[in-house]
Amino acid sequence: MYDKQKYLKLLSKEYKNVNEVAEEIINLQAIINLPKGTEMFLSDIHGEYEPFVHILNNGGGIIKSKIDEIFGNTIAKKERETLATLIYYPKEKLKRMKKEIDDLKEWYNITLYRLIEVAKKVSSKYTRSKVRKAINNGFEYVIDELLHSQAGNEADKERYYKAIIKTIIDLDQAESFVIAISDLIKRMAIDHLHIIGDIYDRGKHPDLVIEKLKKFHSVDMQWGNHDICWMGASCGNKASIATVVRNCARYNNIEILEDAYGINMRPLSIFAMETYREDDCLNFMPKVYEDNKYDNRDKATIAKIHKAITIIQFKLEGQLIQKHPEYQLDSRLLLDKMNLKKGYVILEGKKYDLKDTNFPTLNPDDVYALTEEEEEVVERLCEAFQHSQKLNEHMKFIYQKGELYTIFNSNLLFHACVPMEEDGSFKEVEFLGRKVSGKEYFDLVNETIKKVYFDKENQNPDLLDIMWFLWLSPNSPFFGNSKMATFEAYFIDDKETHKEEKNPYYYLTAKEEICDKVLKEFGLAGKEAHIVNGHIPVKAKDGESPLRANGKLLVIDGGFAKSYQEKTGNAGYILTYNSYGLLLSQNKPFESVEKAIKEERDIISEIIVKKTGVVRKTVGDTDIGKRLKNEIEDLSELLKFYQAGELKQTN
């Protein structure tokens, strides 16, 4: 039972007397009455580092809008664009500006004033203490003074500002100051960041995305199916490892394995070149985009690697399907359905011609058995994945920061779906010997994923296989399609076989009552509650909307990955939630950091949804606010005990 007096005695060690308690109550009361900080939601980054960083730099368009609010009527659009670019990329932009400007001191004099005004605007909803703590490049005292000075009348304040700025310039500290205050502006623009899954695969630099997130001041993430695949691979699941390598080969991203994570691909490369020496492997040529077309490795070599690891993957998956009949994935055992002599495969009782019949490593007596050479390749890869220090650091971060789902300020965040039946009931799934559905299923999956990583010593040897199941099972909350049609996409021309039927969740949640049912299952209700998903790219060019069920559900995967942009017609969505409400923007493709700096090109975002409330939200309306109110109640009780003499005060 809760012992109030015992708890208050413990609390009194931190707040030793009436004055300290009263001061903290006043402080917390002030905080809960401040405007709510801005949350940003991003999904399906897929290794696209440059546009991801640019969105963080521009605060999802917030910084540009603040500049326009302040200077829209006083300085030209071109100057406002220059100021925005300077804030986004201060070091790079300054290097260029110093070559172009004749009177650098005068430019600094004007620019520092402007930066201070922007910093005031974006930091106005935070406490002075929080703003000062956010300054991490020096100049804490100077910036604090410039943002909060109350020096006499306006004339006095102007002289005070001029003196500080003149000294900064005279001491040759203007460049460092610009960088420091630009970093503060970016820090204040986004109070908290949500990543709704799929950091990995397709794009070239998921490793850099993780490094950026590790340094970000406040972030949570909800795992996506591609993340789950990498998480399983890092723990040693062989089918997951083969899938990760295949995806890297398919998107011409072998460098992410070799250069970023130090995973030796030479054994696989040698095996592939020897095994498919006479095979041009045309069906396995990697996808080439503008940002990877100059990669050094020969595309023909990649194609052979791609084919070799694909066959290994199908074999390893077949072994898992046979080992775990409870996965109910027998329909994906396809290698044994091929007739290579006659060139066809039987799929769901129907015969289809094969595009490729050269599979020298398939044993007709046991098509799912690896050859000795394949075994050696897989073991070497497995060892490399498990012993990659950087990969392990990144996976530890993902396991620690991530969850299957998150409830944050009345929003339910998860990557893909809550498996459902056609009638809208939650689908019952057999998972680790238990039949579960809805939130109970989510909680069990979440607990299991954590156990795979954090309790390696005591886990069931079969538990790791669950990570592969979660990657592609129709019953997985990370996937939820009828099948992952990898085999069909590689080997069958008929596009009908490539179709993956979606779980009913994906179309039933177009109805408001179904969304309300999902929200209620997770303990949420009311107009303020929303579901935020990623996973399924929104084909805006075909008229699809990211907004479902009268705004109850928002799907924010619009195509960060270049491989999706032709289908979607955009480059992803940015969802922000500030003190005024929700704002959903649709992005145009980002060209490059070089053009962003040189030509001052921003990501053009078109606002497509704006949901504002009648009353501006405060910190007190948030989850953090609820915790602070509880703290105020506890401190008020402690204050009464001190005032009544029931607890001794100390200095």
Q: What is the structure's pLDDT at 100?
A: 86
Ramachandran area for residue 235 (φ above 0: left; ψ -120 to 50: alpha; else beta): alpha
Greatest pairwise CA separation for the chain in angstroms: 94
Flag residues of the chain having pLDDT under 70.
Answer: 1-2, 150-153, 289-297, 457-459, 558, 563-564, 566-570, 604-606, 608-610, 614
Amino acid at 331: S
Task: Please choose, from the candidates 39, 390, 38, 332, the residue with its C-alpha nearest in 3D space to the C-alpha of residue 214.
Answer: 390
Q: What is the structure's pLDDT at 495?
A: 92
Dist CA 620 CA 29 (whole Å): 9
The domain locations on the chain are 12-34+621-643, 59-189, 224-409+462-467
What are the b/e assignments for 527-566, b being 16+ CB within 10 Å? eebbbbbbbbbbbbeeebebbbbeebbbbbbbbbbbbbbe
Burial of 17 (0-12, 13-18, 19+ CB in 10 A): middle
Determine what percent of the chain falls in helix, strand and coil, rounding each to the nearest 5. 55, 10, 35
CA distances from 506 to 14, 222, 252, 348, 536 (A): 50, 18, 31, 24, 9
Dist CA 240 CA 495 (whole Å): 26
Contact predicate 469/324, CB 8 Å? yes
CA 266 to chain centre: 31
Q: What is the structure's pLDDT at 615?
A: 81
Pair of tokens at residue 60: 């999802």
Classify residue 35 by its DSSP letter. Answer: B
Residue 588 burial (CB count, 10 A): 15
Task: Please choose, from the candidates 539, 552, 561, the residue with its C-alpha nearest in 3D space to the C-alpha of residue 582.
Answer: 552
Q: What is the structure's pLDDT at 294?
A: 45
Dist CA 432 CA 447 (whole Å): 12
Ramachandran area for residue 236 (φ above 0: left; ψ -120 to 50: alpha; else beta): left
Contact predicate 78/602, CB 8 Å? no
Amino acid at 494: D
Token pair 């640019």 is found at: 54
Q: What is the structure's pLDDT at 506?
A: 95
Pair of tokens at residue 440: 């109970």
CA distances from 479 to 473, 484, 638 (A): 7, 9, 50
